[in-house]
Chains A and B, each alone.
Chain A
């Protein structure tokens, strides 16, 4: 079976992967979709900073040894494909760098909790 992968006709975008060591979760079990996860900044020295809830994470910007392609699937149900090709993928973007947050996060609202 053949799966076609084609490049995006609008041109590939350059994305950056964000890797977290941990889980991002909602407090009340809601779906993550269209939720504001947190704020992302770069410090003056270029250190990426991610603030989720009352946690602050310091990351590192590193190139990836193997770039990752971001694909978009087009399934058969959409009807534009024939029988031979049940699914088709389009490369939307390629991520060559990633920002990795692997250190233990720090709390930034300590005084709120204790008082």
Chain B
């Protein structure tokens, strides 16, 4: 009993499924939108496909079973349609002509769709079966591509079908009630088929009603699929619609644009796989690769049914029965772990990747140039996106990582990527060790890379490992078609030729085209599109060239007016200052004989200078446009006919650098010596080269004569007073040399002047020694001299110290007077020299150790110190520890000591 029940349930189920399938098939056909590609890959509709597949088997099995009972079913539409096909065989009364007609009409309708016409068999579901047989085999990509292209064509002409289809439905409704197997309730005429002597009942209608409303037009329009009146109505509708569109376009296209703030590029981004503009072969190849991941990501085992051999399964699963799937390795991973999409900008590579990944059921994680792609962050992004999964949210899908603009990523990051996909990358954490033990764990999620330039050096390794998919340019005609569609939707009147031209001009860059269309299309700018390309910008050199060269177009000089406009366009929105600088820098190279013109243009430079100064001072920027006309003047005065060599204006930069350097030198010297910078530059620097190079022999210091010694002391004092030092520097050729630091000498010399020969290296060494000694002496003097100000010694001490200090000062002044040529130095020097006393006399713990205190402690011994002294004296024996090992110590003992 139980089994029996199950059986019936199963049958009912299969019948329901059959019904579902019927509906489904009808739906796809009635939409005129058989989207085999999209449908097949759509994972959401997976169930339906399985139903379809099951149906394949069940329908055939059920053929024999259900043939008889269903035939008895009087309401079956299918039987009617199949039987009506056989109408010619019937022996019919006069009314039967109607049915025949209807049948032909039906056929014509169905011929439009091309795959359900064959109704010859007695099969209950002939059309379903037909459709299944026509399903593209997935091992024949050309076939599939053809199908998709066909679908696309249908998509474009969709509107027409809808209207036609409605009429077709009308016919069917009529037909429903025309023939019956049983004795019907309406008026009928019995008919017998001679072949199997089956009895039919055909409806009888009142003649005039039929003649007026149905019969006549149908008889007349028997050749057309749609009645004439309908066609006419439709045509009128179209005309009205066109007229409306035209008026709409004429009235306010601008308003339309301004109200819509979305970029068209985004607005008309393809939403479905079928809408993709790029080449179908490429799309398919890419999608195929992505589907190879199904085994790994979704863990979908191939479905094994008894029909597998007969039926092409969708997706990649069909192959799995016996042979290994092509494009996969033994573990089920795709051969290429990475897909690399490459092609010129604006083709929709990113769009393709996003769409296909979404289509295959992935959650998209994108990393592009705007993200930080340093190796560490890159590693983090990789791990985060491929090893984790969103658990929150409505549908947690597996991630698919898209690395956009990968050619801009650093090479180390790409190394990491490569290591990662082969499972050799271990995370930096301590878990890494565990991983290694487990064995390599390759990446389990698809990674898609996108780049413009495939042959970037950093991508070389990636190129080897990845499946490279070259995205070719969109054909101009197809692009123009899409552009026209968009223009129509946006109510912009666009000439097909203009669109084609636009497409060609942009190099089939979809993004540029759409941008141009959006911004220029609405603005009635005429035919001249000024395209703005991604990543392209007119460089400074191009601008200079534009200004400094007479433009030629087809062997004739461009009229002055146009030239002027061009120049203004070039100057507009660019760095005018830099441009002017470049022209000023380059004009002497361009040979121009007319001195009048040169002077004129120099006056314009003056003008430009004044304008910019004015603008910068007052910040009245509205005056700035006047400066642009200077460029026009320069162009007409200076532009050369021949090809010109331009160079970058680096003089100003160099001069600025030099100025900053010199100023810093002067500032340093000023800080040390206290002499004002203007005085330094005018009074000191020119003479320094004389002062700093006395006549000294390069012999040892103590061999110097008294004269030379005096010179040396003078030199050292000058150096000390001005805060100059001799610093040893290594020359590029490896030799050493002493240079003044800060190099005040440089300021006093003009760059091209003959230099006085500087001191020999050996002499400079002596000078340095002397300098150091003198510096220390001064320091000491300074310390003792200033300590009296800080400390508060006893009265006697004070007296003594005062005397001492004065003596020292005297001494110092004597020395300085004796040796210095510039007497002023010392006076100015004293106040500004830092007082080193506090800084220098500190012990390890930061306590100040002054001489006074040491003296004090020496004189008055505290009781505690005394006790210590006592203890130390008492314990005379000291222990001195020695590092190392004692077992190496040997002492020689001689025999005579023993005897």
Contact = CB atoms under 8 A, between A and B. Distances in A.
Q: Do A and B bind each other?
A: yes
A57 B878 CA distance: 12
B878 A112 contact: no
A36 to B, nearest CB: 7
B843 to A, nearest CB: 11
Contacts of B655: none
B882 A52 contact: no
A52 to B, nearest CB: 4
B880 interface: yes
B886 A28 contact: no
B881 A53 contact: no
A54 to B, nearest CB: 7
A53 B877 contact: yes
Contacts of B877: 24-27, 32, 35-38, 52-53
A54 B868 CA distance: 11
A48 interface: no
B431 interface: no
Interface in B870-899: 871-872, 875-882, 884, 886, 898-899
A80 interface: no
Contacts of A45: none
A112 B871 contact: yes
Contact of A27 (B868, B876, B884, B899): B876
A72 interface: no
A104 B864 CA distance: 28
B881 A105 contact: yes
B737 to A, nearest CB: 49
Interface in A39-54: 52-54
Contacts of B878: 24-27, 52-53, 55
B86 to A, nearest CB: 119
B898 A87 contact: yes
Contact of B879 (A1, A28, A53, A73): A53
Prevailing SS type, chain B contact patch: mixed
Given A86-B899, A87-B899, A115-B864, A22 B871 contact: no
B868 A28 contact: no
Name the residue among B871, B876, B882, B884 with the largest chain A CB count within 10 angstroms: B876
B879 A105 contact: yes
Contact of B871 (A3, A26, A109): A109
A23 B876 contact: no
A23 B871 contact: no
Contacts of A12: none
Contacts of A102: 886
B876 A28 contact: yes
A20 interface: yes
Interface residues of B, number: 17
**Residue of A73, A86, A112 with most chain B CB atoms under a 10 A cut-off:** A112
Nearest to B867: A112
A36 B446 CA distance: 87
A112 B875 CA distance: 14
A54 B886 CA distance: 22
B875 A21 contact: no
Interface string B737-770: 0000000000000000000000000000000000
B864 A3 contact: no
Contact of B868 (A21, A32, A37, A112): A112
B881 A21 contact: yes
Contacts of B898: 3, 73, 87
B879 A21 contact: no
A30 interface: yes
B722 to A, nearest CB: 45
A13 interface: no
B627 to A, nearest CB: 77
B882 A22 contact: yes
A19 to B, nearest CB: 7
Contact of A3 (B876, B882, B884, B899): B899
Nearest to A27: B876
Contact of A52 (B867, B871, B879, B886): B879
Interface in A50-109: 52-55, 57, 73, 86-87, 100, 102, 104-105, 109
B844 to A, nearest CB: 12
Contacts of B875: 38, 53-54
Contact of A30 (B872, B876, B881, B886): B876
A44 to B, nearest CB: 24
A23 B872 contact: no
B219 to A, nearest CB: 126
A21 B886 contact: yes
A23 B886 contact: no
Nearest to B886: A21
Nearest to B880: A23
A76 B795 CA distance: 74
B842 to A, nearest CB: 16
B6 to A, nearest CB: 90
A58 to B, nearest CB: 12
B879 A27 contact: no
Contacts of B884: 21
A25 B876 CA distance: 8
A115 B880 CA distance: 23
A37 B899 CA distance: 30
A57 B881 CA distance: 10
A30 to B, nearest CB: 6
B899 A55 contact: no
Given A112-B868, A115-B864, A22 B899 contact: no
Given A27-B872, A53-B875, A112-B868, A19 B886 contact: yes
A21 B899 contact: no
A30 B875 CA distance: 12
A115 B864 CA distance: 8
A20 to B, nearest CB: 7
A20 B879 contact: yes
A57 B876 contact: no
B879 to A, nearest CB: 4
Contacts of B886: 19, 21, 100, 102
B876 A26 contact: yes
Contacts of B899: 1, 3, 86-87
A69 to B, nearest CB: 14
Contact of A35 (B867, B871, B876, B879): B876
A53 B874 CA distance: 9
Nearest to A105: B881
Q: Shortest 7 CB-CB distances between A and B: which pairs? A: A52-B879, A22-B881, A23-B880, A55-B879, A21-B886, A53-B875, A22-B882
Given A1-B899, A20-B879, 17 more contacts: A19-B886, A23-B879, A26-B877, A26-B878, A30-B876, A35-B876, A52-B879, A55-B878, A86-B899, A100-B886, A104-B881, A105-B879, A112-B864, A112-B867, A112-B868, A112-B871, A113-B868
22 contacts: A3-B899, A20-B879, A21-B884, A22-B879, A22-B882, A23-B880, A24-B878, A24-B879, A35-B877, A37-B877, A38-B879, A52-B877, A53-B872, A53-B879, A54-B871, A54-B875, A104-B881, A109-B871, A112-B867, A112-B868, A112-B871, A113-B868
Interface of A: 1, 3, 19-28, 30, 32, 35-38, 52-55, 57, 73, 86-87, 100, 102, 104-105, 109, 112-113, 115
Interface of B: 864, 867-868, 871-872, 875-882, 884, 886, 898-899
